Amino acid sequence: MFIYAVKGSTLKFTAALILSLAVLVLLVIFLPAYDGDALPTLSIDGKEVTFHNIRTDKERRDFLTQFGWTVSDKEPFYEEVSIPKEFDSVFAAYNDLQKSQGLDLSRYGGKICHHYRYEITNFDTGETVYANLLIYRGRVIGGDISSAKMNGFSLPFTGKDKAPSTE
């Protein structure tokens, strides 16, 4: 014969565990999905541009191709960068560029992200131009197309038509 004794504290623990699981299930079912990492919706030539699941070199190159850019076969420059919690005037201006393309770096203040820089080969001015990508958890959270010159330009990803003239 098998006898099992249950103490009052065991019953309280079991009841608390069951109640906690029930509350968790109800929260998952009834709370709306958190949209804290919303990405811009953008379409080019009728195709929707993808800003997420950008984890490999091929996916980064494909991301830039969506905007009509051709990327050099050279290995990209890579570094980890920290997004500041408070923006100075230079970073605030850069974030304004990000906002113009539906992105916002202020939500990532204090986070470490991945910076990749690719050389663009189909920019018509003949100068060295780079595509910069800021990626956090597989999502493009910022970036630009910029000149390598000291006082060069910085454009959004769709900025091919806004490039400065060579005259």
What's the rounded Cα separation, in Å, for the pair 154 and 96? Answer: 11
Distance CA 165, CA 38 (A): 35
The CA distance from 130 to 116, in Å, is 10
What pLDDT, on the 0 to 100 scale, is given for residue 59?
96
- Residue 5 neighbours by CB under 8 Å, 6+ apart: none
Helices (runs of H) and strands (runs of E) counted in the chain: 3, 7
pTM: 0.73
Structure tokens at 77: 């420059």
Q: Does the structure show a pLDDT above 60 at 44?
A: yes
Per-residue pLDDT of 63-122, as tens digits, reads 999 999 999 999 999 999 999 999 999 999 999 999 999 899 999 999 999 999 999 999
Place of tokens 């906002």: 99
> In what helix (H) or strand (E) does residue 143 lie, and over which residues does it extend?
strand 139-147
- Percent of the chain predicted with pLDDT > 70: 80
Per-residue confidence at 48, pLDDT binned at 50, 70, 90? confident
